[in-house]
Amino acid sequence: GAGVSQSPSNKVTEKGKDVELRCDPISGHTALYWYRQSLGQGLEFLIYFQGNSAPDKSGLPSDRFSAERTGGSVSTLTIQRTQQEDSAVYLCASSTGQGGKTQYFGPGTRLLVL
Amino acid sequence: AQSVTQLGSHVSVSEGALVLLRCNYSSSVPPYLFWYVQYPNQGLQLLLKYTTGATLVKGINGFEAEFKKSETSFHLTKPSAHMSDAAEYFCAVITYNNNDMRFGAGTRLTVKP
C-alpha cells in the first residue's frame, strides 16, 4: 500500500554537474508525471509517461532535461550540466490514467545547485 | 491550453472563521478541476476533484468546492477554519484529451488562534 516514493529527498550539487532523480510510482499506475516547483511559484509540468506510449516531453525546459521510465514502472529524471536556476523541488506523480484521473504525488526531491 | 488563476497568494483567517480560497480557470473544453493541499516539506495531497456530475464537491477535512461554469470558477471553502488547515493550497485543471495538468501559483493559508 505504499505511495509514490522519490529519492533522494535532498540533493546539493555544483553548477555544471549532472544529477539523477528517481521516482517509484504506485504499483499498477500506468501514468507517471514529473513537475517542477520553484520557490514561490506553482507547479510546472515537465513530462508525462503513459504505458508504452511515447512520452509527452512538451514541458521540458531545455535539452539538458531528460527522463526515462524503465519497464513501465520506475522513472529517472536527469538534468545535465545543472544551472543555479534548476534549483527547485521536483515532484513526481502517478495515476491510473490521464485526464480526470487523480494524480498521487510523492514527497519530492529538493535540488540545490550551488 | 487550459490555465488556472488563484486570487490571493496569502490568505489569513482566524480559527473558526470561514475559509474561502479562490480559483478561476480557462479551458476550451470541459475541464477537470482539482484542489490539492501541501503541508511543509511534503508532497501534494488531493483535497477534492470535479470531473462530471454534481457541481458541489465535498472533500477531506471538511472542505468543499463548487464548479460554476458560468463564472469559470472552482472556489474552495470550509465553514470553520482549524489550526491544522494552515498549508499551501493549489488549484489545478486538466482536460480529458490532455496530459498537461496546469496548477495555480498557490495560496498560503494562515490560521490565527
Question: Which residue bears the cell 499498477?
Answer: A28
Report percent pLDDT > 90 for chain A: 69
Residues A44-51 have a mean pLDDT of 90
Contacts of A26 in chain B (CB under 8 A): none
* C-alpha cell of residue B90: 493549489
Instruction: Using CB atoms within 10 Å of the CB of residue B45, give its burial: 0 to 12 exposed, 13 to 18 middle, 19+ buried.
Output: middle
The pLDDT tens digits of the residues spanning B17-54 come to 999 999 999 988 888 999 999 998 788 999 999 998 89
* C-alpha cell of residue A65: 532535461
Please report the DSSP string for B74-100 in residue order: EEEEESS--GGG-EEEEEEEEETT---
The pLDDT tens digits of the residues spanning A2-36 come to 899 999 999 999 999 999 999 999 998 989 999 99
Give dist(CA A14, CA A27) in Å, integer: 34
The pLDDT tens digits of the residues spanning A69-101 come to 988 799 999 999 999 999 999 999 999 876 677
Question: Which residue bears the cell 519530492?
Answer: A108
CB B99 within 8 A of CB B9: no
Contacts of B47 in chain A (CB under 8 A): none
Give dist(CA A51, CA A29) in Å, integer: 9
Q: Write phi, then psi, for B76 (nearest 5 degrees).
A: -100, 135
Please report the DSSP string for B1-25 in residue order: --EEEEE-SEEEEETTS-EEEEEEE
Please give the single-letter amino acid code of residue A60. L
The pLDDT tens digits of the residues spanning B47-77 come to 999 998 899 999 999 999 999 999 999 999 9
Across the interface, do B94 and A104 touch by the CB < 8 Å criterion?
A: no
For residue A32, the surrounding DSSP H or E stretch is strand A31-37
Interface test with A, best of B99, B102, B103 (most A CBs within 10 A): B99
DSSP bridge partners of A32:
A49, A94
pLDDT given at position B15: 97
Q: Does A5 touch chain B (CB under 8 A)?
A: no
